[in-house]
């Protein structure tokens, strides 16, 4: 069994897009200060690092899943420069009320469980929205509401 840290994406890993804007290219994707280092610390401590992100711009036709994938490849390549990596990224491309995976639903977490043997009792959810905390609560892991991943990593690694 592995301990996992589930991370929100927008507003935690990268700067939040302006209202009604969607991040569709690597140029729009600005990684926040200290994030690669924080992810590396979680990697080194043996945590699975798993991103769970709502991207309803896909349902709205504002961006494609291919663009989302391209942005995520860019993220992984930037992390690799710091010796860090994300183990898996799960995306909800649906609109509100259309699915069981849009946070605060827990479908993305259940997808992760199919791939990884996760010890929920030692796992965390970190995000900058109430919906992130609610999702973590519903899934049954400890949750941290913050827009600072370095600070959240400090808390998690302090045990
Ligand atoms: Mg967010
Ligand atoms: Zn969904």
Judged by DSSP in three states, 111 sits in helix
Is 8 marked active-site?
yes
Split into its structural domains, the chain has a count of 1
Q: Considering the entire predicted model, what is its pTM?
A: 0.97
CATH code of the domain covering residue 74:
3.40.50.1000
Structural domain harbouring 46: 4-139+148-157
Residue ranges of E strands in 47-133? 48-54, 88-92, 124-127
Q: Catalytic residue, from 8, 119, 128, 132: name it.
A: 8
Secondary structure (3-state) at 54:
strand
Q: What are the pLDDT digits (tens) for 58-75?
A: 999 999 999 999 999 999
Residue 101 CA: which ligand is closest? Answer: 2
Is 10 annotated in the active site? yes
- Kindly report, residue by residue over 116-138, the tens digit of the pLDDT: 999 999 999 999 999 999 999 99
Quote the distance between the C-alpha of residue 148 and its chain's center: 13
Are β-strands 48-54 and 142-145 bridged in parallel, bridged antiparallel, or unpaired?
A: unpaired
Per-residue pLDDT of the chain (159 residues; tens, 9 = 90+): 999 999 999 999 999 998 888 999 999 999 999 999 999 999 999 999 999 999 999 999 999 999 999 999 999 999 999 999 999 999 999 999 999 999 999 999 999 999 999 999 999 999 999 999 999 999 999 999 999 999 999 999 997
């Amino acid at each position: 069994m592995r301990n996992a840290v589930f991370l929100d994406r927008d507003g935690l890993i990268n700067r939040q897009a302006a209202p009604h804007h969607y991040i569709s290219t690597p140029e729009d994707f600005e990684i926040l200060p200290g994030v690669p280092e924080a992810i590396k610390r979680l990697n080194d401590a043996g945590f699975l690092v798993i991103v769970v992100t709502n991207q309803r711009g896909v349902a709205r036709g504002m961006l494609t899943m291919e663009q989302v994938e391209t942005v995520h490849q860019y993220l992984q390549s930037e992390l690799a420069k710091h010796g860090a990596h994300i183990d898996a990224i799960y995306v909800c491309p649906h609109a509100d009320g259309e699915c069981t995976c849009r946070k605060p639903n827990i479908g993305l977490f259940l997808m992760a469980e199919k791939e990884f043997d996760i010890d929920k009792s030692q796992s965390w959810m970190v995000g900058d929205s109430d919906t992130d905390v609610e999702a973590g609560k519903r899934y049954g892991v400890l949750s941290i509401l913050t827009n600072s991943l370095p600070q959240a990593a400090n808390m998690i690694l302090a045990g």
